[in-house]
Amino acid sequence: MDAYNSFKNLERDKQETIRRACLEEFVRTGYSSASTNTMCKNAAISKGLLFYHFGSKKQLFVYLIDYCSKFLSDIFYGGLELKKENIFERTITLTLRKWALYERYPLEYGFLVKLLIDCPPDIEQKLIQMKKDNLKRATQIFMHNLDLSDLRPDIDKAKAVELVLFVMEGFKAKNIEKYKTDPKPLSELHGETMLEMKEYLNMCRLGICS
The SS3 assignment for 151 reads strand
The SS3 assignment for 146 reads strand
Q: Within a 10 A sphere around the Cβ of 53, how many other Cβ atoms?
A: 20
pLDDT at 171: 87
Q: How confident is the model at residue 210 (pLDDT cuts 50, 70, 90)?
A: low
CA distances, 142 to each of 45, 70, 152, 165 (Å): 43, 19, 20, 9
Contact indicator for 107, 23 with CB cutoff of 8 Å: yes
Q: How confident is the model at residue 126 (pLDDT cuts 50, 70, 90)?
A: confident
- What pLDDT digit, counting tens, does each position of 71-88 carry? 999 999 998 999 999 999
Helix (H) or strand (E) holding 54: helix 47-54
| Residue 31 neighbours by CB under 8 Å, 6+ apart | 61, 114, 118, 119, 120
Which bin fits 119, alpha (ψ -120 to 50), beta or left (φ > 0)? Answer: beta
Give CA–CA dist 119/58, Å, rounded: 10
Give CA–CA dist 114/110, Å, rounded: 6
Domains of the chain: 1-55 (1.10.10.60), 62-208 (1.10.357)
% residues pLDDT > 90 (the chain): 50
- What pLDDT digit, counting tens, does each position of 87-114 carry? 999 999 999 998 888 889 999 998 998 8
**Burial class of residue 117 (count of CB atoms within 10 Å of its CB; 0-12, 13-18, 19+):** middle
pLDDT at 2: 60
State pTM to two decimals: 0.84
